[in-house]
Amino acid sequence: MTSEFRSRPRDEATEKIECYIIENKLPPHAKLPSERDMCEMWNFNRTTLRSAIERLIVEGKLYHRKGSGTFVASPKLVRNLQDLKSFSQLVAESGKKLTTQVISALVIESNKQITKKLHLPLGHKVYELTRLRVVDGEPLIIETCYVDFERFPELIHHNFSQESFYGVLENNYGVHIVKGEEKIGITYTTPEESALLKIEEESPVFFLTGVVNDGEDVPIEYFKSVVRADSVRFASVLTR
């Protein structure tokens, strides 16, 4: 007895789109033909083609701009969950260019959440730094970090759009980050976050929170990050 494998129309449409990108050497952010043109090119109905496009968007290979069309996505930046490398190091190793915009740098009073994470008294002075991280001209991450201001009072004099935050902690204060813990969830962007990341409002994004410690197991930084899910992928190495 023999059996014949038949691919689903959506799989065929997905393959056609991927082959079209390769054969035409389309670079990131290149616009694809209209849905109508692609349907005529490959004799697919609109429902099948849209299903294939949605699949490729989920996989991070395409992205859609309302009113503009469908575009080739940049390869996702891959971050190892078991790695304590800074985002600056990760981007440099990927061969991409990182720029940073400081959104705010404030001295605030520690609330219950910060107090719990950094083991500080309630109302203690805390340095809060919020930055937008931009890779190859594309905004990817909104990072907010909190550290003990009384331990690191000179941080307010640094320009963290140009300087490495961890670099300053290490070089100016002798702090060495050796371990940490991180949690990842899914959330949806606020209007302010959407504007900074240049994506549609209520877009799904990764939401990261965590704490990093020094060699004496003292909490140094509590952080929160909003990360574009269409541009960054998280990976982990499994061992047995």
Q: Are 97 and 90 in contact (CB under 8 A)?
A: no
Q: How far is CA 236 from CA 60, 69, 83, in A?
A: 18, 34, 9
pLDDT in the model for residue 89: 75
pLDDT value of residue 219: 96
- What CA–CA distance (Å, rounded) separates 137 from 100? 10
Tokens at 48, concatenated: 């099948």
pLDDT, position 238: 56
Q: What is the reported pLDDT for 145?
A: 96
pLDDT at 81: 62
pLDDT of amino acid 39:
94
Which one, of 100, 76, 78, lies nearest residue 88 by Cα? Answer: 100
Question: Over the stretch 28-66, which tens digit does the pLDDT of each residue have?
Answer: 889 999 999 999 999 999 999 999 998 888 777 888 887
Residue spans per domain, the chain: 9-72, 77-235
Looking at residue 118, what is its pLDDT?
97
Residue pair 213/184 in contact (Cβ under 8 Å)? The answer is no
Name the CATH topology of 77-235.
Chorismate lyase (3.40.1410)
CATH of domain 9-72: 1.10.10.10
Positive or negative, the Cα torsion across 103, 105, 108, 110? positive
Give the global pTM: 0.72
Low-confidence ranges of the chain (pLDDT < 70): 1-7, 78, 80-86, 235-240
**Contact 101/134 with Cβ under 8 angstroms?**
yes
Closest CA to 172 of 159, 155, 148: 155
pLDDT of residue 85: 65
